[in-house]
Structure 1
Amino acid sequence: MRAAVLHEYKEPLKIEEVEIAEPKAGEVKVKVTATGLCHSDVNVFEGKTPVPPPVIAGHEIAGIVEEVGHGVTRVKPGDRVVSAFIHPCGVCRNCISGHENLCETFASVRLKGTMFDGTTRITLNGKEVRTFLGGGFAEYAIVGENALTKVPSELDLEKVSPLSCAGITGYGAIEQAKVEPGENVAVIGVGGVGLSVIQMLKASGAGRIIAVGTKKWKLDRAIDLGATDVINSKEADAVKAIRQITNGGADVVVEAGGVEETIRIATDSVRIGGRVVLVGLPPASSDIPVRIASIVRNGITIAGNYGGRPRVDMPRLLDLVRLGKYDPTKLITGRYKLDEINEAVKVLEEGEAIRSLIIP
């Protein structure tokens, strides 16, 4: 099959013919319909998320089940599916206690780029090729069955791929924040995750929904999707503006940028006793300082959130899409063939894309 392979960090991807093995127990082979391009993929390409090359990235996967391994019961060949970026094992302590988004087995192999057994299913000229959270920048991908959810026939399979990461990450952030009706919420970062959060905040009855970003066209998109206020942090003091709009600070701040500046805005703009949910992923080597004294004195709760639970929350997300309360198509800004993936990466790095779909 054809795949976009990264051989060295910070080098262009190469479209190559690779070999894919049959799925093993608990695994599913998916014929890829579309895969969204996310900043987390770019972090892999740049070595900021150091999955050893050669590696195939791509984790916002939608497609059709081609083949199933031994013991698979959740899907069958021919099913239309969307894959979460989290692949729960289903049997570790966190999985069985209702926290499969924090699966310990998955966490142990996530940055190694292997399946649960420590091996890969892709080879190139006899050499193992690793995959990052599914390896969807290819014609086929092999993922664990617990990552997959059947997609209703009335939904466009290609256009639900952003649910795999942007959607389920946004859902997890809202669940973590426990936003009450009427509470004021600031969302720092208006990429795929931030715009997903804004849509879900509107659906949940939040009060003021304040979007903070640096691109006017993305802030305009935030207004279209439910934000009540927008702040361009290049043109205004975001912390001061949030405090003025909310009369003292937001009840909740969802940080979806993953850089020092956006984290500082989040912790400085929340009210006394408020909550900050961190979902933006900085490079693995980042050491971002937080003013602990201010956090303690103001009784601020800071929580990291690594997405929703695939088997529980993805079906709910699909229902939100069917009801018109969450529209993943509003995140899609481009459509590229597999051969054009390096162009799509360039556009994303320049800040001119939210979600580009890679169509094999």
Structure 2
Amino acid sequence: MKAAVLYKYNEKLKIVDNVKIDEPKAGEVKLKVVTTGMCHSDVNVFEGKTPVPTPVVAGHEIAGIVEEIGEGVTRVKPGDRVVSAFIHPCGKCRNCVSGHENLCEVFSQVRLKGTMMDGTTRLRIDGQPVRAFLGGGFAEYSIVGENALTVVPPDMDLEKIAVLGCAGLTGYGAVDLAKIEPGETVAVIGVGGVGLSVIQLLKASGAGKIIALGTKKWKLERAIELGATDTINTEETDPINAIKEISNGGADVVIEAGGNEKTIQMALDSVRIGGRVILVGLPPANALIPIKEASIVRNGITIIGNYGGRPRVDMPRLLDMVKLGRYDPTKLVTGKYTLDEINEAVKLLQEGEAIRSLIVQK
């Protein structure tokens, strides 16, 4: 099969057409990929900031059709149209059985290794193993665990919902974890795919003022279109003072979706006394975040890390929200590219000129 393979960090992906893919093992599903969204987490892999061993095939916002199932698979069958979450729960560990499958202990041990749950790979080139990052959707076929998959209604376009696999599910998990009360003021730092998903879901949840922060004017305009009540361009004004002025002292909740040291510090400095900070953006693996511990303690600030929603519970809810018109994933898509054009999509995302690009199979 054909796949976009990263051989060395900070180099262009190579389109390889002789990648061999094994049959799915127990609990696994082989997908014929229809489309895969490109996320900044993929770019972090390409740049070595998320150091998955190479050679590796990335791509984790996958929508496709079930081609083959492994032993014991019961949640899907061949021919089903499905969307894959970036989280692949084992379904058996303590966190999975206690309702926290987004924090699956088994998956956490292998996700940065680029392997399946058993520690092995399903891809090979000339007999040598190739890693797959969270599904490896930048290819014609992919193998994922069945618990990552949700069947898509027959009247729903797969290209329309691919970005639910990460942007949608991460946004859902953040808003759910924040426990937003009606009328609360929420600041959202970062207006990429996750931030814009958060804004839509905040609007649906009954939040009051929704303040969007970013650096690109056109993305901030998109945020207003999707439900933000106020915007702050962090390159043109002091974001801390601006948030405090709009919110009369500080936001009740700050959801940080930028994923870097500067934006995380911004979140901690702009929340009100007794407020909550939800950290969603994924910084580079070696990032260190300075925290003013005394002010966090004195002000009673709650800091919560969020790693997405629960695939088997929350993805069906997201699909319902799409059907009801309360969440529109197409508003995140800024371009479509073939597998052969993937390096152009990577470049646009690195430059901040894309929100989500779809890599479509032709």
Q: Quick one: which amino acid aligns to residue 14 of structure 1?
A: K
Structure 1 residue 231: deviation in Å? Answer: 0.2
Match of residue 296 from structure 1: 297
Match of residue 190 from structure 1: 191
For residues 59-107 of structure 1, the C-alpha deviation after alignment (integer angstroms, 9 at most, x for no partner) is 0000000000000000000000000000000000000000000000000
Match of residue 163 from structure 2: 162
CA distance in 2, matches of 1:264, 1:201: 22
Taking only aligned residues, the RMSD between alpha carbons, in angstroms, comes to 0.5
* Aligned counterparts, 1:43-62, within 5 A: 43-62=44-63
For residues 270-295 of structure 1, the C-alpha deviation after alignment (integer angstroms, 9 at most, x for no partner) is 00000000000001011121111111
Q: Quick one: which amino acid aligns to residue 300 of structure 2?
A: G
Structure 1 residue 113: deviation in Å? Answer: 0.5
CA distance in 2, matches of 1:317, 1:159: 13
Structure 1 residue 296: deviation in Å? Answer: 0.6
Match of residue 6 from structure 1: 6
For residues 303-338 of structure 1, the C-alpha deviation after alignment (integer angstroms, 9 at most, x for no partner) is 000000000000000000000000000000000000
Structure 1 residue 264: deviation in Å? Answer: 1.3
Match of residue 16 from structure 1: 16
Structure 1 residue 129: deviation in Å? Answer: 0.2
Contact 2:265/2:289 (8 A) holds in 1: no
Structure 1 residue 158: deviation in Å? Answer: 1.1
Show structure 1 runs of 5+ residues with no match: none
CA distance in 2, matches of 1:295, 1:60: 35
For residues 190-238 of structure 1, the C-alpha deviation after alignment (integer angstroms, 9 at most, x for no partner) is 0000000000000011000000000000000000000000000000011
Match of residue 144 from structure 2: 143
CA distance in 2, matches of 1:48, 1:281: 10
Contact 2:37/2:59 (8 A) holds in 1: yes
2:16 match: secondary structure: strand
CA distance in 2, matches of 1:95, 1:241: 41
Match of residue 311 from structure 1: 312
2:131 match: secondary structure: strand
For residues 242-275 of structure 1, the C-alpha deviation after alignment (integer angstroms, 9 at most, x for no partner) is 0000101000000000111111110111000000
* Aligned counterparts, 1:198-213, within 5 A: 198-213=199-214
What TM-score do the two structures reach when normalised by structure 1?
1.00
Structure 1 residue 126: deviation in Å? Answer: 0.3
Match of residue 283 from structure 1: 284
Structure 1 residue 159: deviation in Å? Answer: 1.4
CA distance in 1, matches of 2:174, 2:198: 7
For residues 140-193 of structure 1, the C-alpha deviation after alignment (integer angstroms, 9 at most, x for no partner) is 000000000001112111110010000000000001100011000000000000
1:160 match: secondary structure: helix
Q: Quick one: which amino acid aligns to residue 291 of structure 2?
A: V
2:8 match: secondary structure: coil
Matched, 1:238 2:239: yes
CA distance in 2, matches of 1:193, 1:187: 10
Give the length in aligned residue pairs. Answer: 360
CA distance in 1, matches of 2:287, 2:272: 26
What TM-score do the two structures reach when normalised by structure 2?
0.99
For residues 105-156 of structure 1, the C-alpha deviation after alignment (integer angstroms, 9 at most, x for no partner) is 0000011100011100000000000000000000000000000000111211
* Aligned counterparts, 1:29-178, within 5 A: 29-178=30-179
* Aligned counterparts, 1:259-274, within 5 A: 259-274=260-275
Contact 2:275/2:302 (8 A) holds in 1: yes
CA distance in 1, matches of 2:201, 2:164: 13
CA distance in 1, matches of 2:86, 2:244: 35
CA distance in 2, matches of 1:359, 1:204: 32
Show structure 2 runs of 5+ residues with no match: none
CA distance in 1, matches of 2:291, 2:28: 41
